[in-house]
Every structure is written in structure tokens, then in C-alpha cells.
Structure 1
């Protein structure tokens, strides 16, 4: 289902990866006992019952294995329909041992909810898996629980895992076991963990990039990849996350099409929420002497790149620096002056179109050199 088809529709909830893994674990344990139900009921971290369909289960001696399919409901989740496979086997030592199978990532950088070197199975899913353990075993029983997501390594390329230090696959996530369709809050929560990871890596300047153009520009400029934080359209939210963590320096680097909106005071840059790009560019062109005909020509453009052709033709390229400076003022005002913010406009090829005064200062402070 496309996003526009969801507007005004009552959307179906789904299950998190963690809830699906817990369902597969329970089905695997039941298979070891000779039971093969079509559905199993697991508990969320809040102890709410969740019914999970079982796709397949089998057992061989002291080992059980089951597969449940991730059902994200009507949420636009790249893991929807993905098989989650859990193997349970007995061991002599007491307690439950969690292992990452194929497609489940390993944490390699500090700052996340899971320790370095451990499977990327978040605390919420770990609680759900433990509930299954406590339902069938005593504290003296020992089991090894291996969670696998066969398509996980490929799916991880569509997530932030590579940039936050989760290698080899995706994370097993979920705080309530339930996926809320099209949840903006959930998307924000998926972006927020980048901030403590960058802080834990020792960086004290956060480099915020709304998209790949900004990221490419940052790398061309010599900025370490470990300092880069993707914001998507939630620029204001991610700035607030950085302030809460303790950052007092930020660089905002991105394509003019995004950052012109920041110059006009918009910090949620999704086009249905804010789009004054042409109005802003036309106003700055007029301020620098553009004729009414040129202003109208800019207003008639569909993209900032199209407007840039007119601006260059009219020798009005000074507007980029002015807009970057205004975006800087707006950004620092948005966070009540709690950090110094520099703004850099990048072209499609990653080259720099404009740089605000604080951006230059922050680059010099960090000894980041523009190549």
C-alpha cells in the first residue's frame, strides 16, 4: 500500500521483530514437546498477550526450530513478510543464552542499548524471549536461543545499522511488541540512537545530514563518517536530541532543496508539512535586485535546481550565502541558543554552494579540511 492510499484509512497494526522472534521461540519449544500449533501467544514487555501465527516448526531430539513471518500490518516496514527463525537447544549450564544467527547483527560500537560484541537484540525483545523461557523452564535449566533472519544482511542496507555500528544484519527491535502503522514517532526513534553512538565515539560536533547528498558532501570535506548523523526530514527533532545528549556544536549539511526550508524557519522538511522553497529563493533574489519578471520566473520553477539556473544567469549567486546565514540564525533560535550551528549548502555532486560563518568556525575548530 502506498502512503497516499493510507490517508484517512483505518490502518492495521502489526507485530515487531521482537514479538515475532518470541513467537518463533515458543513454537520451537513446543515442537520439542511434540506440539505444533498454528498460532502461539506471547507476552509483550508490558505483559500484554500477542498472538503470533506460526509458519513452520520442527524438532530433532534436544533441539527445536520454528519460523514466524514478520507482519508489520499496514506499516511501511522493509522487514514485512520476512521469515524470523529461532532455534532452541538444551545445554548443561543453567540459564538462557542468546546468540545471533544468520542475518542478525552484532553491535560493534558503544552507545546503543546493547553492549559491544553482543547480538543486536534490544532489551524489549530480550524481555519477551525471557518470558518464554520462564514459561517452560526453571532457572536451573539451560538453553541456547539462536535468532536468525535469513534476509537480514540484505535488509540491513535499507536501515541505519551500518552507520551506528551494527554489523552483519538487522536488529531485533520492539518496545511493546506492536507496530503502529505509519508512526512518525517510531521513525524518529529509529533515527535517535545515532546521537549517543556519535557521542560515545568521542565526537563533540554533531554533523547532521538530511540525506545522501549531505553525507557525500561531508565525506568529501574530510569529515569523519563516525560524526555523521542522518536526520531525514526531522531536522528539528534531531537537533533537540543532540542538545539533550550534550552537543554544543552542530553542522547542518544538505542539499539546498532541504536547507532553504530551514532558512524560512521549517524544521520538519517533508513536503506535505513545509514547502516555501520558491518563495524563499524569490524573496532573496528580489532583495538583491532581481526584477519582477525574474522573481516570477523563479516562482514558476518546480525545483531549487531549476531556480538555481535562473539565479546564476542573473548573477545573483550571493543569495546562497545569505540563505545559509539565515538558516544558521533560525537553527540557533530553534534550540534557544544552546549550541553553535553551522549550515552548509551542498550541490548534487557534493560540492559546496554556500557556507555560513559558524560552519567555517566549526570546521576550523575540528581541523576538518575542505578538499
Structure 2
């Protein structure tokens, strides 16, 4: 897809092909070989917007009454974990005129509700299914149907580095894509990949969820607080976005759980917490310490600290760890204000060693509803 690019900071970045479009191209090429013996080097897939995507075919082969097409997943300039994987489609004729889509090695199975695919079905999303079906039908002889088996040979191994296990997709990857195009360095696509965690929590009956920056916070939420694993969602740096997703999904309460350094940014009103976007941690600690009566020397030490962990030690040495109670209150208040009061928000702060630093009254109230271990 070298002909499609996206401008980012004045640099032309090359777009890629989704797993769904790759599977459709592999299936279409395999069907063309099975139907009329044509070996295609490229295949044109049509996305739901009517746009033609030209996909390079790695290989096609005929094995008796079956044909196999392989496409190498091209993520373009996006840091895509599936980039370079073989996407394989095996096609055979069946009676009738329909197209049956099944999953082989490396394509996951959905085991939890709340996703676009029902429980027990292969993790091939609706748009990829549509694109695969249309590509195959385009190549079938009149009066013929086809069975298509999609596989990703390295999918199960790669899936361990994704959110699939958390989402209840086991034994492989999802076949995804709504436009067939992977936009390079797309923050939006990363954010959208986090949102299904909330719909899954809702499908499991939760109206209060836990949002945490990453895997470490998830571990603390489950192991230290005793929160149910199905109500815990990773938000990465996208605090504001995930709060909005919670509101959209009808969630009523959110407990923010994580390292004090990250969540201190929320107390300062930062809702995208990447350090190149917002970093007011030390200033926030210093301001709250001053409000608690810290000396000018202590405030100066806080401001000159290299890390928030060093700031924590300064507060500890000066019996000012109560600052973090204020931080927890402020983070909850600012987060609730961000969604115009549509959520009750509580906050729990941890040290890097997994010890609780502070939590507010809202966190205690919401946590009790979820049966947490803290009294």
C-alpha cells in the first residue's frame, strides 16, 4: 500500500493493511486459483467505503480440491505487533452458494461477552468477515459456494503480547479492521483498542470499573485490592478518553488505581499522561506540600527532585505523606469534573513496591461494592 500515506509532523508515513483486508486478499487470490487456475501477484480488496486496496500476494498454491493464498501482513509505518506475519486463507468448494468462514491455527476464539463477535466464535470481526465473503464471491463460479479457513501461523505466540488474553480471546489473534487500512502511528487506533475492555466489564454485570495505566496497576488492583479481574481495564495514557468511554457505556463508578507518579498528573488536570504531553508531578506535590505547611526548603527539594519517587522520599522524611491523601482527593475530583459529574470517581495510589500510599472516601465506597480487601 505504498500509494497511501498519512502526513504526520510533515513526514509522509506509509499506511498499512489490516489483518482483515490481508485475509480477504489471501482468500480472494486462493479462490481465483481454485476457480480458474489464475495465479495473482496482487489482489484488489474493496473496503466498506468502496475504496480499492491493492494487496501483494506472497504465494498461492493448489492442493487437490483446495487452494491456499498467503499475504504478509504489512503494518506500514505503524508499530504493529502483527506486521510481517503470514495471513493464510485455505479455500474449498462446498454445495450451495454461500461462503462459510472458519478459523485455523493462530486465530483466537472469543470466550467472554462484550465483543463484536459472540462467545465461542472465531475472533474474526464483522467487517473482515464481510470483506472476505465479498472477495470470495467475486471469484466463485456461478452456483458454487466456498469454505474459507483463515489462519495465522505465529498468531498464538504474538497474541501473548496483546490485550487479547485480557479480553478473553484465547489461542490466537483477532482478525480486525473497519476500513482495511492501518493508519501509521495512529493514537486513535490504540485508544480504540482499549475501549472494548469497558463493554466487556459491562457485559459481565459491572457498573463500577477500575481504570489503571498498565499491567502493573492491573496486578495491584487484583492482587492487592482484591478487585474482580473482569472489572479492571487498562487505560494507558488516555485517561480522559477512557473516562468518556465509561460514560458512553453507562458505567456509574470508576476507581483509578496506579503508581502515585502517574495519577498525580490527573490531580493536576492532565488527562493525557504521556510525559511528552503533560508532566506536572513535582509541581503538584510541591503545591500540596506547601498547603500542608511544608517549609520553603522542603518545597524547593520537591521541585528539584529528579523523579516522583524521589519526591515521595522527601515527603516521607518530612512526615508529609498526607500530601497523597490530598492528591487522591484531587485526582478523583478532577476526573469527575472532566466528565461533567457523570461518574463517581475514586483514586488509589501505590508505591512502585506495591504498597498503598493513599486512597479517598470515594474509592473506599466504590471498592466495597466490588468486595475489595481494604476496610
TM (norm. structure 2) is 0.94
**Residues of 1 paired with 2:285 and 2:241: CA distance?**
25
> 2:154 pairs with 132, 151, 155, which one?
151
Cα drift, residue 301 of structure 1 = 1.8
> 1:264 pairs with 263, 268, 279, which one?
268
**Residues of 2 paired with 1:110 and 1:219: CA distance?**
20
**Residues of 2 paired with 1:8 and 1:311: CA distance?**
44
Map of 1:3 onto structure 2:
none
Task: Give secondary structure in 2 for the equivalent of 1:206.
Answer: strand
1:50-88 Cα offsets, whole Å, 9 max, x none, are 111111110122200011111111111111111111111
> 1:335 pairs with 336, 339, 343, which one?
339
Task: Give secondary structure in 1 for the equivalent of 2:160.
Answer: helix
> 1:238 pairs with 238, 242, 252, which one?
242
> 2:329 pairs with 309, 314, 325, which one?
325
Map of 2:278 onto structure 1:
274
**Would you say the 8 A contact 1:28–1:86 is kept in 2?**
yes
Map of 1:16 onto structure 2:
18
Task: Give secondary structure in 2 for the equivalent of 1:11.
Answer: strand
**Residues of 2 paired with 1:257 and 1:8: CA distance?**
33
Map of 1:197 onto structure 2:
200
- 2:24 is aligned with 1:29: no
Cα drift, residue 184 of structure 1 = 1.3
Map of 2:287 onto structure 1:
283
Cα drift, residue 312 of structure 1 = 0.6
**Residues of 2 paired with 1:168 and 1:93: CA distance?**
31
1:80-109 Cα offsets, whole Å, 9 max, x none, are 111111111122354111111111111111
**Would you say the 8 A contact 2:204–2:230 is kept in 1?**
yes
Report which stretch shifted further, 34-43 or 250-259: 34-43
Map of 1:208 onto structure 2:
211
**Would you say the 8 A contact 2:24–2:128 is kept in 1?**
yes
Cα drift, residue 138 of structure 1 = 6.3
Cα drift, residue 139 of structure 1 = 7.8
Map of 1:294 onto structure 2:
298
Map of 2:132 onto structure 1:
129
**Residues of 2 paired with 1:54 and 1:205: CA distance?**
47
- 2:362 is aligned with 1:358: yes
Count of aligned positions: 366
Map of 2:232 onto structure 1:
228
**Would you say the 8 A contact 1:260–1:277 is kept in 2?**
yes
**Residues of 2 paired with 1:335 and 1:365: CA distance?**
22
Taking the TM superposition and a 5 Å limit, the aligned residue runs for 1:79-90 are 79-90=82-93
Aligned alpha-carbon RMSD (Å): 1.5
Task: Give secondary structure in 2 for the equivalent of 1:10.
Answer: strand
Taking the TM superposition and a 5 Å limit, the aligned residue runs for 1:43-54 are 43-54=46-57
**Residues of 2 paired with 1:293 and 1:9: CA distance?**
46
Map of 1:184 onto structure 2:
187
Map of 1:161 onto structure 2:
164
Change (3 A) 1:139 1:35: closer
Which ranges in structure 2 are unaligned for 5 or more consecutive residues?
A: 1-7
**Residues of 1 paired with 2:143 and 2:341: CA distance?**
56
Which ranges in structure 1 are unaligned for 5 or more consecutive residues?
A: 1-5
**Residues of 2 paired with 1:258 and 1:101: CA distance?**
41
Task: Give secondary structure in 2 for the equivalent of 1:29.
Answer: helix
- 2:65 is aligned with 1:62: yes
Cα drift, residue 142 of structure 1 = 2.4
